[in-house]
């Protein structure tokens, strides 16, 4: 129960701070809600519907102040919608209409009942969508509190009503009882339809090119909300600030050879990468002022070594970024393999630009990519095998990519954290 309460509070926190600005705007200053306002032409809904023509689309028309409608939303979210947020083959469109005297102010409170990266919300103040979908369903009453599924390929032509759904249910008293909403039945029909749609995502790829990363979706959450979620996943901001040192022991595999590896890090910005096979020793280190790059054993490419030292930050660029002089903003979301991450851009105080990929489920940063002045990806570090270490989530595997070439993998079998309480 405590976990559920925490998740609910976190979700409420995230949604309360949502905005709908496009990437590049000052997200911290936007107060727009997490839904789209559509005019009588319904052009936004129709365009979005057609843009996702390759997907299974769930289109729901609801009254944001109708208790029965809200119950239907919650039932469908629990039975199927929430579980589909990582599936690129499906998208849910939830259209709110002014039934029962509903106003726009009711929408924000309804949005949290069905939320995720694959759910879009719309406020149709004129209620035109109910008339349009009434024609699609072939019914004699205004279409609201209806729940529809459209197959891939279905298209809504301008000047025409929407296409006929392949399946639909309702919660209205004068329509057939046999089609009354049953969330489990609806979920089964969705699953059956999805089983017939192949997964075309490039699952399993370990390296993502910049061109892929740029094809991103604008998201509502402001940067500060995304980073708050990231911090919470790692144990919380205040707890992270108690970390004074993290030491890693394991092996590094580089160019087909394996060497013993120790990485020692400490506050404020001390870093040492030590390779020692008993006969030879290499050290790559930074104490916040001076750099040490000594030895040839297990040597990473020069530009990666340079960037490890130039961009190292014990707390990470996305913690206290303002006081450090870094500029951080979110770019959006992009489906990569089996993840739908937030992509956050950090322009460091030394003018270097990094893109961080934050798993939208766990809050883990699973990828950092250095971006050149002309927008090209230079190097990338990818993080995997996150585990709990004394209450902190830390990666036990780091891979280094030079362009599209994998040059090294660090694997750690022992991670030790040292904490120290700090008065604030």
Give the pLDDT confidence score for residue 414 in this predicted structure.
Answer: 97
Tokens linked to 191: 């699953």
pLDDT in tens, 277-308: 989 999 999 887 888 999 888 889 999 999 98
The whole-angstrom separation of Cα 25 and Cα 182 is 42
Q: Which H, E and C letters describe the chain, residue by residue?
A: CHHHHHHHHHHHHHHHCCCCCCCCCCHHHCCCCCCEEECCCCHHHHHHHHHCCCCEEEEEEECCCCHHHHHHHHHHHHHHHHHHCCCCCEEEEEEECCHHHCCHHHHHHHHHHCCCCCEEEEEECCCHHHHHHHHHHCCCCCCCCEEEEECCCCCCCCCCCCCCCCEEEECCCCCCHHHECCHHHHHHHHHHHHCCCCCCCCCCCCCCCHHHHHCCECCCCCHHHHHHHHHHHCCCHHHHCCEEEEEEEEEEEECCEEEEEEEEEECCCEEEEEEECCCCEEEEEECCCCEEEECCCCCCCHHHHHHHHHCCCCCCCCCCHHHHCCEEEEEEECCECCECEEEEEEECCCCCEEEEEEECCCCCEEEEEEECCCCCEEEEEEEEEEEEECCEEEEEEEEEEECCEEEEEEEEEEEEEEECCCCC
Of 141, 162, 152, 22, the C-alpha closest to 95 is: 162
Give the pLDDT confidence score for residue 422 in this predicted structure.
Answer: 53
The whole-angstrom separation of Cα 356 and Cα 343 is 6
Of 284, 354, 286, 291, the C-alpha closest to 317 is: 354
Tokens linked to 304: 């990666």
With beta carbons less than 8 A apart as the criterion, state whether 350 and 328 touch.
no
Percent of the chain at pLDDT > 90 equals 50
Top mean pLDDT of 20-24, 334-338, 378-382 is at: 378-382
40 pLDDT more than 70: yes
Give the pLDDT confidence score for residue 407 in this predicted structure.
Answer: 94
Q: Which domains can be identified in the chain, with CATH numbers?
A: 15-194 (3.40.30.10), 210-419 (2.50.20.10)
The whole-angstrom separation of Cα 252 and Cα 260 is 6
379 pLDDT more than 90: yes
Tokens linked to 71: 């119950």
27 pLDDT more than 60: no
- Beta-carbon contacts of 137 under 8 Å, excluding residues fewer than 6 positions away, are 143, 146, 148, 164, 165, 168
Cα→Cα distances 273→48, 61, 142, 249, 301, Å: 49, 57, 68, 10, 14
Burial class (CB in 10 A: 0-12, 13-18, 19+), 105: exposed
Longest CA–CA span in the chain (Å) reads 86
Checking DSSP bridges between strand 365-371 and strand 56-62, what pairing results, if any?
Answer: unpaired
Give the pLDDT confidence score for residue 217 in this predicted structure.
Answer: 53
pTM for this one?
Answer: 0.55
Confidence of residue 209 (pLDDT cuts 50, 70, 90): very low
The whole-angstrom separation of Cα 113 and Cα 69 is 11
Burial class (CB in 10 A: 0-12, 13-18, 19+), 284: buried
Percent of the chain at pLDDT > 70 equals 85
With beta carbons less than 8 A apart as the criterion, state whether 356 and 370 touch.
no
339 pLDDT more than 80: no
221 pLDDT more than 70: no
Confidence of residue 219 (pLDDT cuts 50, 70, 90): low
Cα→Cα distances 64→73, 182, 226, 410, Å: 10, 20, 26, 51
Mean pLDDT of 111-118: 87
Q: What residues does 31 pair with on adjacent strands?
A: none
The whole-angstrom separation of Cα 96 and Cα 73 is 11
User: In this structure, how many other beta carbons lie within 10 angstroms of the beta carbon of residue 60?
Assistant: 24
Of 237, 172, 212, 254, the C-alpha closest to 339 is: 212
Give the pLDDT confidence score for residue 44 in this predicted structure.
Answer: 93
232 pLDDT more than 80: yes
Give the pLDDT confidence score for residue 216 in this predicted structure.
Answer: 58
């Amino acid at each position: 129960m405590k976990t559920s309460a925490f998740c609910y509070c976190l979700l409420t926190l995230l949604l309360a701070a949502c905005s709908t600005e496009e990437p590049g705007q000052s997200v911290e200053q936007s107060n727009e809600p997490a839904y789209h306002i559509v005019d009588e032409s319904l052009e936004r809904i129709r365009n979005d519907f057609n843009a996702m023509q390759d997907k299974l689309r769930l289109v729901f028309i609801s009254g944001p102040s109708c208790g029965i409608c809200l119950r239907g939303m919650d039932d469908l979210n629990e039975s199927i919608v929430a579980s589909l947020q990582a599936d690129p083959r499906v998208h849910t469109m939830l259209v709110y209409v002014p039934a029962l005297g509903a106003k726009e102010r009711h929408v924000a409170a309804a949005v949290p009942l069905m939320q995720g990266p694959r759910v879009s919300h719309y406020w149709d103040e004129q209620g035109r969508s109910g008339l349009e979908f009434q024609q699609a369903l072939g019914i004699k009453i205004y279409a609201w509190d209806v729940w529809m599924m459209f197959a891939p390929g279905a298209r809504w032509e301008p000047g025409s009503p929407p296409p006929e759904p392949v399946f639909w249910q309702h919660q209205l008293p004068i329509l057939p009882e046999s089609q009354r909403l049953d969330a489990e039945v609806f979920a089964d029909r969705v699953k059956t339809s999805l089983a017939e749609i192949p997964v075309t995502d490039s699952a399993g790829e370990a390296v993502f090119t910049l061109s892929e990363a740029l094809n991103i979706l604008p998201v509502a959450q402001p940067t500060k909300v995304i980073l708050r979620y990231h911090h919470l996943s790692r144990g919380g901001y205040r707890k992270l600030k108690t970390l004074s040192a993290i030491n890693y022991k394991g092996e590094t595999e580089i160019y087909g050879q394996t060497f013993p590896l120790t990485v020692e890090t400490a506050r404020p910005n001390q870093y040492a990468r030590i390779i020692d096979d008993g006969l030879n020793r290499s050290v790559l280190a930074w104490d916040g002022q001076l750099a040490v790059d000594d030895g040839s054993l297990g040597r990473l490419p020069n530009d990666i070594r340079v960037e490890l030292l130039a961009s190292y930050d014990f707390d990470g660029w996305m913690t206290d970024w303002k006081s450090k002089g870094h500029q951080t903003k979110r770019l959006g979301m992009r489906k990569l393999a089996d993840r739908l991450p937030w992509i956050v851009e950090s322009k460091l105080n030394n003018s270097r630009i990094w893109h961080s990929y934050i798993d939208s489920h766990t809050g883990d940063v699973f990828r950092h990519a250095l971006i050149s002045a002309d927008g090209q990806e230079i190097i990338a570090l990818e993080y995997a095998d996150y585990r709990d270490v004394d209450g902190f989530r830390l990666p036990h595997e780091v891979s280094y990519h030079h362009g599209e070439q994998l040059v090294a993998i660090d694997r750690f079998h022992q991670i030790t954290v040292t904490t120290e309480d700090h008065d604030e």
